[in-house]
Each structure stands twice: as structure tokens, then as C-alpha cells.
Amino acid sequence: MSDKEIHTYDVVVIGAGPVGENVADRSRAAGLSTVIVESELVGGECSYWACEPSKALLRPVLLYGEAARFPGVGGAVTGPLDADAVLKHRDRTSADWNDRDQVDWLDSACIDLVRGHGRLDGPRRVTVHTPEGGIVRLAARHAVAVCTGTSAALPPLPGLDALRPWTSREATSAREVPDRLAILGAGVVAVEMATAWRGLGAQVTLIARESRLLGRVEAFAADLVADRLREAGVTLHVGTTIETAERAGGPDDAVHITLADGTRLVADELLLATGRAPRTEDIGLETVGLTPGEWLGVDDAYAVTAVDGEWLYAVGDVNRRALLTHQGKYQARIAGAAIAARARGLALDTGRWGAHAGTADLEAVPQVVFTDPEIAAVGLTTEDAARAGRTVDVVDYEIGRVAGAIQHDPGYRGHARVLIDPERRVIVGATFAGAGVAELLHSATVAIAGEVPIDRLWHAVPSFPTISEIWLRLLETYRDQRV
């Protein structure tokens, strides 16, 4: 490709993570010529630095903890985890940070790939600066989809560059276990990485500016996680933050930390898990009248609302509707269908359940936090309902009272809560905390997304003895509360 020639496609996608791949797949399947632009590895953050490597680190830790607590098994679990073996497993899961298989998939789907940094260059135009120093100019007949995701949002600590902190990327790709790890943050990345690295042998200190961990989940679930972290040996400092931090340099090169409450700490590595920022600061937004570095507001078909012509789409984390890989892929399927429909001159089906309207990223967003215990949640929490002024009936049940829970742990600690709209008699929120609860989540998601009436759920009979029996117990509790 020459520097001056313009290469025209029906669709240009910026970002080849799971979201960009799915947009490209849907548009190509509809017969539209498609090119995807990627500045790093095809497969994106989830494949190499987030979902997959983090779970590869966490699963052995969680399995070890569960086995160590089980009668007849605990005595056979001796010695620490083999950290080197776990890290090698993580490397395999991340394909050793080689994207050859992902590139082969693009080839099989007839999707062209241009490697380099893509920037908008006016309406329907993208300029790519390649690693070799060349320039590739692309034009889109129908749509440009921005699928660049997010990056770590770092706090304004003095001397940040010299501090050389970990972000989520370093935390999931580290080559060895640090002796001492300090983590600033209270969200999912913070608690999952505290769980993983403590299980692999690091001394972990977790510093949370908030008064509790996991502020977006039900408090009972967050408290169970905090209790288990403490039992595992993680030191928690809540309601405070880092005042100063600096690397000593020299042979020790430790990080010396002072907290706002005066506490002094020393760590070998400092993970800053303080949120995410959109990767829009250098993608040419100014050339189409938008502000670099901002989140991109979209309609329910994921077209950017501040740009006329319905040609620019923002899909996945970059639009801030739901910062989760599975939700981004859901958006991509809808956006791809919308792009294809508009390319054919068809009117979009944008009704509530329409093929070109996203609703699941607003009303029934499922998420699993892979800690000990697991947290699985979808829909509203009690705090969400209170903020929205919505009246809900709250139904609670201890999961350990369900026969199937004993199959996981005779001393099972876990709790379930559902929120029910008393007028419509449908579930609008569900949270489960405990071992093995992740597999309960899709049934809750179906119940909420499908607005299944409580009277119908009575006829969905759970198998005995499984943890899914919690559904029966919750319904019975709700019935008794209303008598």
C-alpha cells in the first residue's frame, strides 16, 4: 500500500480486540468489505492482559483454597502452590503474547488487517501510521467503528514515572511473584489481583480510598470477600489513600509508601487499580468535531450521537455503557447488524427488543468477580434501586442452607439476594456470593432480561442437590414474606 493511495472499504474498524473483531465479523458476514486496524496484538486487552490471563492466575488459587477446606482432600493438599507452573499456564492461556492464531482467524473470515496506529482523518477517513514508518490511508463507504477500549486511569501521584507502578497489564503479565505487593484500589481488578498474588505467595497490602471494597456490588458480598482476604493474610487499609510513594533505587529498589492516615509501608511493586479511561486521546476525534480523551456517547445502535450522518460508531468500553468484554461483544453484534442494514438502505429495527437496539447493557448487565468467594450479579442492587427511587422487595437467603452447597464446602459461606418489582412481580436484580455461584448467573440474567413473572418461575424446578436450589428457597422466602 502506497502512502498516497486511498484504500476504500465498506467498513473500517479501529481496534482488533474482541469487540472490534465481532463488529468486523458481522459486517463481513453481511457481505461488506471490511478492514481492521490494530496498533498492538490482534485479540486485544482481554486476550493478553485482562480477562483470560487474570482467570488463569485465579483459577489455581481458588481451586487450591476450596480443596484445602474440603474433608478428605485438605490433608492431601500440602505445601504452597507451584507458582512457576501457574505462570506458565497463564502464558499458554495468553498464547505467549503471540497473535498468530487471531490473525489466521481474520484471514479465514476475509477481513483485512492493517497494523499500526489508526486515527480519524475527517468523515469516513482513517490514517494509519505503521510500525515501519509508513502511512496507510483508508476510506469507508458506510461506517467507521471505534473499538479502542480503555486503559488504566492513574492517580496524580508525584513522581509517577520514576515510581514505575504496575497497572492491570503488569499485574496479569508479571514474570515472577513479588515478595511484597501493595495495591491501591477497591474495585474488581484490585480484589482479584489481591486474591491471585496472595495465593501465589506474595505478601499483599490492599489500600482502598473507599470505606469498603467493591462499592458497586451488594455490601454483603463485598464483606464476604473482605473477610476471606483477611483470612488469607491480605492486609486491608480502607478509607485512606496514598499520600506519597517513591522508589528507593539501588539494590533494594523498593517502593516506600506513606498513607493519608500516617501509615508507612514498603513494597516491591505497587499496583494502581484506580479505574479506566477511554483510549480516545490520540485517535483523531478533533477532525470530526469531537474532544480527544473523552468517552463517546452513542445511541442504542451504537452510532455516535454527536456526529451527523450515522457513519461513526463507538462500540465496547469506549462508550462507557458497560465496561465488560461480553457486553462489548453484544454491542458489536448489534452495531454490525445496524451497519449492514444501513448499507442496504433498510430502516433499523430499534424497538425495545429490536435487532438493532442494545438494551442488555443498560438493564441486565451480568458480571462475575472471581474472588474467594465468587460474586455473581446482574441487574439492580439495593443501592441502585434506592438511588433511582424504585420500590423493590428484597429477598435474602443463606446459600449454605441449600443441600447442594455442602458439595462445595461443608462450612459453606455464601448469601443470595434478589430484588423483585412488587407491581410487575418480576426480578429486577440478583446477587449471589459463594463458591460455585458463577454458574447461577445466566439463569438470573434470563429471568431479568425476559421479565419472567414470579408465578412462572415457580414452575422452573431446580435439580437436587445443586446450588441452583437457591431459586426455590428464594421464591419460598418471598411467598412467606408476603403472607
- Digit-coded pLDDT (tens) for 204-236: 999 999 999 999 999 999 999 999 999 999 999
385 phi and psi, to 5 degrees? Answer: -60, -40
Q: What does the pLDDT read at residue 2?
A: 58
Distance CA 57, CA 191 (A): 13
Cα separation, 221 vs 233, whole angstroms: 19
With 0-12 / 13-18 / 19 or more C-beta atoms within 10 angstroms meaning exposed / middle / buried, residue 341 is: middle
In the predicted model, is pLDDT for residue 253 greater than 60? yes
Banded pLDDT at 159 (limits 50, 70, 90): confident
> 118-132, 170-184, 240-254, 434-448: which range is least confident on average?
240-254
Q: Looking up cell 451504537, which residue turns up?
A: 302
Place of cell 487499580: 273
Q: Exposed e or buried b for every residue in 168-192, given b needs 16+ CB within 10 A?
A: bebbbbbeebbebbbbbbbbbbbbb
Q: What number is the average pLDDT over the span 34-38?
A: 98
Cα(5)–Cα(135) distance, integer angstroms: 10
pLDDT at 402 over 60: yes
For residue 285, the Cα-to-chain-centroid distance in whole angstroms is 25
Q: Residue 94's pLDDT is what?
A: 97
Residue 3 to residue 344: CA distance in whole angstroms: 31
d(Cα 199, Cα 192) in Å, to the nearest integer? Answer: 11
Strands (E), 336-446: 367-369, 375-379, 393-398, 415-421, 426-433
Name the least confident of 163-177, 234-248, 354-368, 383-397: 354-368
pLDDT at 4 over 80: no
Q: What is the pLDDT of residue 75?
A: 85
pLDDT above 70: percentage of residues in the chain: 99
Cα gap 101→451, rounded to integer Å: 40
Report angle CA 110, 115, 120 to the nearest 5 degrees. 95
Q: Are 373 and 435 in contact (CB under 8 A)?
A: yes
The pLDDT of residue 230 is 98
The band of 87, judged by pLDDT with boundaries at 50, 70 and 90, is very high
Measured CA to CA, the distance from residue 96 to residue 215 in angstroms comes to 34
- b (16+ CB within 10 A) / e for 263-302: eebebbbbbbbbebebbbeebbbeebebeeeebbebbbbb
pTM recorded for the entire structure: 0.95
What's the pLDDT tens digit per position in 42-62?
Answer: 999 999 999 999 999 999 999
Closest CA to 150 of 335, 25, 274: 274
pLDDT the model gives residue 1: 53
Find the radius of gyration of the CA atoms of the chain: 24
Report the first-to-last Cα separation within the chain, whole angstroms.
74
Give the integer Cα–Cα distance in Å for 409 and 414.
Answer: 10
For the chain, give the mean pLDDT: 95
Mean pLDDT, residues 104-131: 98
Please count the other Cβ atoms lying within 10 Å of the Cβ belonging to residue 100.
10
DSSP 463: P
Domains for the chain: give ranges and CATH numbers. Answer: 6-43+99-151+278-361 (3.50.50.60), 177-273 (3.50.50.60), 373-482 (3.30.390.30)
List, for residues 424-470, the tens digit of each pLDDT value: 999 999 999 999 999 999 999 999 999 999 999 999 999 999 999 99
pLDDT at 158: 87
Alpha carbon 144 to its chain centroid, in Å, reads 24
